[in-house]
Amino acid sequence: MRPKVFVSRIIPEAGLNLIREACDAEVWPEVMPPPYDLLLEKVKTIDGLLSTLNDRIDANLIASCGENLKVISQMSVGYDNIDVNAAQARNIPIGNTPGVLTDATADLAFALLLAASRRIVEGVEYIRNGKWRTWEPLALLGGDLSGATLGIIGLGRIGEAVARRAKGFDMRIVAYSPNKSKETVAKIGIELLSFDQLLQESDFVSIHVPLNAQTRNLINAQALQKMKPTAILINTARGPIVDQQALYEAVKSGIIGGAALDVTNPEPMSPDDPLLSLPNITIVPHIGSASLRTRNKMAVMAAENLIAGVAGKSLPNQVKV
Ligand code: DGY
């Protein structure tokens, strides 16, 4: 009998075709993710689940999984939506898609950094609102990148890829990454600082840590207070790492210079959210990995994890608990 799997969204064909060749697949056809209650029912009868970061896979859902469920394969590198300890207790391996989205996410972090420093979105609005009458010596002045300090919080794959891009712009690169040694990062031209030092010295602070109990609200009112009044915060990691109310107040009152976010809390953000009323905050809708090539690779990787899992084999990319 072919394994029965549930794919919780329409994913790129490259992945879906692999899944359909190996399994009996039910693919959730809607744009919006499946309701939690539906997922609760599905996991009782399937051999494998392909999930996305929108699916809440908590201890309750894991407890509902039937005896047949052999794998949860998530199509993203982040898996903060999954209770991995509960899955481990049931011996259900979790797959994810590290590596393939590193460059796309680093590109977007850098796009946001450039957009915020050179006020690109404000410039577009300026034209749309009929304000462009002449070349103005004092209009829309932004910050320079060369010689500026980029502070990277979390020097994993994506943090390092952002650092490589920053080198090409002649930036000084500093990082806060407790698991790295000064010697290792010095070899790649990065200075390791304490969290507070990084906040105090950086012109741009870019977040590249996973969301967990230690990083939730890492950038809170106290942290924002330590940043330069001209500094720009960039978040392409997870929304809850930043206290959004504190960010709003910090940007509005000039404690920091601005922010550029790919992730928010909650997602989607309401169109009425006060953050959207500030001209020096740029927000895009969680598109860090949204390049064609990257999403295809993520779909294939997630499919390969799923197919290996339902066959009882070890996953090519298994989350280590
Ligand atoms: C991830 O993979 O965790 C990104 O946030 C979505 O691509």
**Tens of pLDDT, residues 204-256:** 999 999 999 999 999 999 999 999 999 999 999 999 999 999 999 999 999 99
Q: Which atom of ligand 1 is nearest to the CA of 294?
A: 7
pLDDT at 194: 98
Residue 126: exposed, middle, or buried by beta-carbon count in 10 A (0-12, 13-18, 19+)?
middle
CATH code for residues 4-100+293-310: 3.40.50.720
pLDDT at 152: 98
288 lines ligand 1 (CB under 6 A): yes
Q: What are the helix (H) ranges across the chain?
A: 13-22, 36-42, 59-64, 84-89, 102-117, 120-128, 157-168, 182-187, 195-201, 221-226, 244-252, 292-310
Phi, psi of 176 (to 5 degrees): -115, 115
Classified as helix, coil or strand, 160 is helix
> Mean pLDDT for the chain?
98
Catalytic entry in 119, 165, 238, 295: 238
- Give the length of the chain: 321
What number of CA atoms fall less than 13 Å from residue 186's CA on the CB side?
A: 4
267 given a catalytic annotation: yes
Classified as helix, coil or strand, 234 is strand
Return d(Cα 291, Cα 205) in angstroms, integer.
24
Task: Among 92-96, 128-132, 185-189, name the one with the lowest average pLDDT.
Answer: 185-189
**Cα–Cα–Cα angle for 161, 164, 175, rounded to 5 degrees:** 75
Catalytic entry in 119, 165, 172, 286: 286
Catalytic entry in 267, 293, 295, 304: 267
Specify the fold of 102-283.
Rossmann fold (3.40.50)
pLDDT at 225: 98
- Give the pairing of strands 149-153 and 258-261: unpaired
- Give the pairing of strands 71-74 and 94-95: parallel
pLDDT at 221: 98
Q: Which atom of ligand 1 is nearest to the CA of 96?
A: 2
Return d(Cα 238, Cα 141) in angstroms, integer.
30
Nearest CA to ligand 1 atom 2: 76
Residue in the structure block whose two tokens are 């919080």 = 153
Output the six-digit token pair for 51: 């999930």
259 lines ligand 1 (CB under 6 A): no
State in Å: Cα 289 to ligand 1 middle.
Answer: 6
Q: How many CB atoms lie within 10 A of CB 139?
A: 14
Per residue in 104-123, pLDDT (tens digit) is 999 999 999 999 999 999 99
Classified as helix, coil or strand, 133 is coil
101 lines ligand 1 (CB under 6 A): yes
289 lines ligand 1 (CB under 6 A): yes
pLDDT at 277: 97
Alpha carbon 142 to its chain's center: 26
301 lines ligand 1 (CB under 6 A): no
Return d(Cα 50, Cα 6) in angstroms, integer.
6
Return d(Cα 133, Cα 140) in angstroms, integer.
13
Give the start-to-end residue ranges of the domains of the chain: 4-100+293-310, 102-283
Peptide bond into 268 cis (omega under 30): yes
77 lines ligand 1 (CB under 6 A): yes
What is the rounded (10 degree) CA torsion for 60, 66, 69, 73? -30
Output the six-digit token pair for 25: 């697949």
User: Is the pLDDT reported for residue 162 higher than 90?
Assistant: yes
Pocket test for ligand 1, best of 81, 94, 101 (most atoms within 8 A of CB): 101
Alpha carbon 60 to its chain's center: 25
Per residue in 43-96, pLDDT (tens digit) is 999 999 999 999 999 999 999 999 999 999 999 999 999 999 999 999 999 999
Per residue in 247-278, pLDDT (tens digit) is 999 999 999 999 999 999 999 999 999 999 99
Residues 135-162 have a mean pLDDT of 98
Return d(Cα 179, Cα 185) in angstroms, integer.
11
Output the six-digit token pair for 114: 């450039």
Output the six-digit token pair for 214: 């230690």
Would you say the C-alpha torsion 291, 292, 296, 297 has a positive or negative sign? negative
pLDDT at 210: 98
Contact 199, 181 (CB under 8 A): no
149 lines ligand 1 (CB under 6 A): no
DSSP for 231-272, written as a single string: -EEEE-S-GGGB-HHHHHHHHHTTSSSEEEES--SSSSPPTT
Nearest CA to ligand 1 atom 3: 78
Alpha carbon 73 to its chain's center: 17
User: Is the pLDDT reported for residue 321 higher than 90?
Assistant: no
